[in-house]
Structure 1
Amino acid sequence: MFDLTAADYSLLSWIQQSGIPAHSLSLRFHPGCLMVQCQTIEDATKLWERRSILQLSGIELCFRVNGVFYLATAIK
């Protein structure tokens, strides 16, 4: 078992507050990037609009929707 960090809680809160079912998302960390795979562009938009919840500084937030890759900006 492991302890959750503030970053872990911010990810959980981000997903919960977006209203998107967690089973419809895939989150992966790559060097310098959080890759979010979504089923619809609307889901990606909801997450993008709530990105300020994330406590992950200095990484890029990237989305992949139905195989199309979208690069967003760095999280401040």
Structure 2
Amino acid sequence: MAETILFPIHNNIQFAGKQIKIDRSSLATVLTNAPSKVIILSGDGGSGKTALIKEAGITYAQSVSLLAVG
């Protein structure tokens, strides 16, 4: 389900014929391994919050539950 909802969210950028992706894997790992049951993720628009949720949700779909409220 997460893949369907988050499909239109881009987590890479096409620039000069190259795919550029910011490595958020360490942040995704911190989020999914956090001892807290609830994590509040905030930041300016365009800072990559939803892309981080997408990466964490797809990578760790079997071990975590995600709820995103906009």
Structure-2-length-normalised TM-score: 0.30
**Higher RCO, Cα 8 Å, sep 6+:** 2
Which of the pair has more CA radius of gyration? 2
